[in-house]
C-alpha cells in the first residue's frame, strides 16, 4: 500500500532508493543512534587491526606549486568573449548560490543543513557528530563562482569551528563523499593547508571500517578517536553494517565509492594505506562470480559473496559504476583494471537492463534475480553523463553507440521533468501500466533538490555542445526559482505534479555542492574545471587528474 509520504526531514543519502532503502530513509529520520547489528556477519568489530596512518599529519612533501603548473587550463577558465545571455544566466545561478549560502550562514551556520521555512538548522545522525556539512559541501562551489567573501566566511568556520574530535555513528560513504571530497577539492583549488590537514585527519578516522575478513568496509563507523576510544565510549573505532542491509552486508555504492578520495589521501600524505584499503574492493569483486556479468547491490564483508541478486544503476549501485570510469580517467588512463571492469559492467547493463518503452523512451531497468522492474530512480539519471564520459574515450563504433545511449537516457530523464506540472522530476518514475517517465506511486512524487539530471546535462553539453542541454538546464533554474525558492533559502517539494506544492523545509547540502555547481558550469566555457584536468567525485567535488606521478615524487 502506497500512502502519501513526506520527503525525509533529514539529509538524504546519495544512494537511497524507494524500495528496501526506504527503511534507511525512515531510520535516518529517527533521532536515536543507528541500529547496530549484533551476531553473525553484522557484528561490530574493534579497530585493532587497522593499519595506522602514522605520518598523515607530519610535514609533507607534496609539491602543490608543481601540481598547479601541471594543470592544462586555469581553474576558473580564461573567460574569452561570450554572449550576454549565457553570462546573464550564469550570474543568475551565482545569485542563487549566494542566496542559499547567505541564508544558511544567517540561520544555520555550523549545523549540517538549513531548514528554510522554520529558519533554523538541522543536524541529523548521518555524519557521526560532525557538523557543517553545508559549509564543506559549499566551499569549492563558492570558490569556482568567485564568491570571495562567502568563501572566506566558510574557510574561517573550518579553521575556527570544524571539530573532528567527535564520537558518533557515521555513514562511511557520506562522510567520504561530502567531507573528505569537499576538503580535498578545496585544497587542490586553493593550496590552503587547513583543508589538507583536516581531510587527512578525518580519513584516518575512517580506516577501522575496513577491518573485516575481506577488507570490504562496513557501512557505519564510530568516529571516536581510536587512540583513546575506551576512555569515553565502548564503541569508538568500531564498525558495523546498516541495520536494514540484508544479512549484515555491505552496499556496492558505498564500498565502491571510496577509490577517488582515498587515492588522493595517499597522494597527499605519502602513506599508501588509504590507496591499499580502497583498492581491496576491486580485488574482491574480480574474484566473485557476477550473475549475467552484473554486480548485485549487497555483498558480505565476511565471505566476499553476494547476499542478494538485486541490481540497480540507481540507488545502492549508482556511484560504483561512476567511480570505475572515473578511476581510469583520474589515473590519466593508466588504471586498466578499472577500465575493464567498467567496460564489462556496461556491456552487461546494455544487454540485460537497457530497455525501450512503447513510447520510444530508453531507460535502465532494475534487476531482481532475473526479473526486471521497469522503473528508474532520479539517482539513476547520472548515468547519461557517465556513459557519455566513457564513450568519449572509446573506439569509433563503441563511441557512437554509447553517445547515442547517453543522449537517449538523458532525454528520458528530461521527460520525467517535462511531464510534471512543476517541471521538476520525481524521486522515481516508471514504465508500466501505460505510464511512461512519471511517478505512479504517491511515495515517489517528491523532489529534494537532487542534481543527477543536470549533472548529465553538463556532461552532454561539454561533449556535444548541443544547445538543447543548456536550454534544459535553464528550464530547471526557472522551476527551482518558481517552486523551491522560499523566503530564507531553497526547499525540496513533496509533489512535483501540483503547481502549488508543499515544501519539505530542507535545503540539502548537495544542492550547494552539486545542483548549483553543475548548473553554473553548464553556462561556463569548457575550460572552467576542464574535464582534461579534473574528475568530479559523486558529490561534484573536483579532484585532479594525475598528469604527473606526484605519488612517486613523494616517495622518492
Please answer whether residues 509 and 112 qualify as being in contact, where contact means their C-beta atoms are separated by less than 8 angstroms: yes
88 vs 95: CA distance, rounded Å? 10
Please answer whether residues 213 and 544 qualify as being in contact, where contact means their C-beta atoms are separated by less than 8 angstroms: no
314 vs 65: CA distance, rounded Å? 39
E-state strands within 117-273: 120-122, 169-171, 220-222, 239-240, 250-251
> What would the grid cell of residue 71 be?
594543470
Q: Is 538 annotated as a binding residue?
A: yes
H helix intervals, 191-331 = 193-206, 229-232, 252-255, 259-269, 273-287, 318-330
Which residues partner with 169 through β-bridges?
222
Please answer whether residues 509 and 137 qualify as being in contact, where contact means their C-beta atoms are separated by less than 8 angstroms: yes
User: In a 3-state reduction of DSSP, which class is residue 69?
Assistant: helix
| Neighbouring C-alpha atoms within 13 Å toward the C-beta of 463 | 24
Which residues partner with 281 through β-bridges?
none
CB-neighbour burial class of residue 401 (10 A; exposed 0-12, middle 13-18, buried 19+): middle
Handedness of CA 421, 510, 244, 314 (dihedral sign): positive
> What would the grid cell of residue 325 be?
570510469
Select from 552, 543, 533 the least CA-distant residue to 182: 543
* Calculated CA dihedral for residues 361, 366, 369, 372, nearest 10 degrees: -30
| Neighbouring C-alpha atoms within 13 Å toward the C-beta of 438 | 16
230 vs 65: CA distance, rounded Å? 42
Question: 255: alpha, beta or left, given left = phi > 0 and alpha = psi -120 to 50?
Answer: alpha
Q: Which residues form the catalytic set?
A: 174, 318, 427, 452
Helix (H) or strand (E) holding 453: helix 452-464
Query: Backbone phi, then psi, for 223, in 5-degree steps?
Result: -85, 5
Binding site, annotated residues for Ca(2+):
538
Amino acid at each position: 500500500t502506497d500512502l502519501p509520504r513526506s520527503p525525509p526531514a533529514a539529509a538524504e543519502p546519495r544512494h537511497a532508493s524507494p524500495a528496501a532503502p526506504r527503511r534507511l530513509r525512515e531510520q535516518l529520520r529517527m533521532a536515536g543512534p543507528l541500529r547496530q547489528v549484533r551476531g553473525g556477519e553484522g557484528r561490530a568489530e574493534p579497530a585493532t587491526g587497522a593499519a595506522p596512518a602514522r605520518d598523515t599529519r607530519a610535514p609533507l612533501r607534496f609539491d602543490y606549486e608543481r601540481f598547479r603548473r601541471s594543470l592544462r587550463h586555469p581553474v576558473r577558465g580564461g573567460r574569452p568573449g561570450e554572449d550576454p545571455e549565457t553570462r546573464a544566466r550564469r550570474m543568475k545561478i551565482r545569485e542563487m548560490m549566494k542566496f542559499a549560502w547567505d541564508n544558511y550562514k544567517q540561520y544555520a551556520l555550523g549545523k549540517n543543513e538549513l531548514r528554510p521555512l522554520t529558519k533554523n538548522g538541522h543536524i541529523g545522525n548521518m555524519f557521526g557528530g560532525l557538523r557543517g556539512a553545508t559549509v564543506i559541501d559549499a566551499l569549492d562551489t563558492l570558490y569556482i563562482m568567485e564568491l570571495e567573501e562567502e568563501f572566506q566566511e566558510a574557510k574561517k568556520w573550518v579553521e575556527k569551528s570544524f571539530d573532528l574530535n567527535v564520537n558518533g555513528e557515521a555513514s562511511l560513504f557520506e562522510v567520504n563523499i561530502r567531507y573528505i571530497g569537499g576538503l580535498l577539492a578545496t585544497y587542490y583549488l586553493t593550496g590552503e593547508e587547513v583543508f589538507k590537514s583536516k581531510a587527512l585527519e578525518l580519513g584516518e578516522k575512517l580506516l577501522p571500517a575496513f577491518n573485516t575478513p575481506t577488507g570490504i568496509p562496513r557501512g557505519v563507523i564510530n568516529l571516536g578517536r581510536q587512540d583513546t576510544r575506551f576512555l569515553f565510549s565502548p564503541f569508538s573505532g568500531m564498525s558495523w553494517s546498516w541495520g536494514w542491509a540484508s544479512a549484515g552486508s555491505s552496499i556496492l555504492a558505498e564500498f565502491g565509492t571510496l577509490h577517488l578520495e582515498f587515492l588522493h589521501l595517499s597522494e597527499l600524505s605519502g602513506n599508501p594505506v588509504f590507496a591499499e584499503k580502497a583498492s581491496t574492493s576491486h580485488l574482491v569483486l574480480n574474484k566473485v562470480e557476477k550473475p549475467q556479468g552484473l554486480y548485485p547491490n549487497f555483498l558480505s564483508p565476511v565471505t566476499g559473496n553476494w547476499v542478494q541478486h538485486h541490481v540497480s544503476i540507481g540507488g545502492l549501485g549508482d556511484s560504483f559504476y561512476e567511480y570505475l570510469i572515473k578511476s581510469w580517467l583520474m589515473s590519466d588512463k593508466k588504471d586498466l583494471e578499472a577500465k575493464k571492469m567498467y567496460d564489462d559492467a556496461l556491456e552487461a547493463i546494455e544487454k540485460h537492463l537497457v530497455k525501450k518503452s512503447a513510447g520510444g523512451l530508453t531507460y535502465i531497468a532494475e534487476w531482481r534475480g532475473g526479473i526486471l522492474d521497469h522503473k528508474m530512480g532520479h539517482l539513476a539519471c547520472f548515468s547519461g553523463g557517465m556513459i557519455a564520459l566513457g564513450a568519449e574515450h572509446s573506439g569509433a563504433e563503441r563511441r557512437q553507440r554509447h553517445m547515442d545511449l547517453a543522449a537517449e537516457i538523458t532525454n528520458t530523464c528530461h521527460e520525467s521533468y517535462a511531464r510534471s506540472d512543476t517541471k521538476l522530476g520525481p524521486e522515481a518514475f516508471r514504465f508500466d501500466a501505460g505510464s511512461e517517465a512519471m511517478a505512479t506511486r504517491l511515495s515517489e512524487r517528491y523532489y529534494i533538490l537532487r542534481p543527477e539530471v543536470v549533472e548529465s546535462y553538463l556532461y552532454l553539453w561539454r561533449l556535444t555542445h548541443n544547445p538543447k542541454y543548456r536550454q534544459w538546464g535553464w528550464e530547471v533554474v526557472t522551476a527551482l526559482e518558481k517552486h523551491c525558492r522560499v523566503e530564507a533559502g531553497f526547499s525540496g517539494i513533496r509533489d512535483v505534479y501540483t503547481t502549488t506544492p508543499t515544501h519539505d523545509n530542507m535545503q540539502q547540502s548537495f544542492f550547494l555542492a552539486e545542483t548549483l555547481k553543475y548548473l553554473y558550469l553548464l553556462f561556463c566555457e569548457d575550460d572552467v574545471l576542464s574535464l582534461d584536468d579534473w574528475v568530479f567525485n559523486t558529490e561534484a567535488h573536483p579532484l585532479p587528474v594525475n598528469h604527473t606521478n606526484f605519488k612517486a615524487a613523494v616517495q622518492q
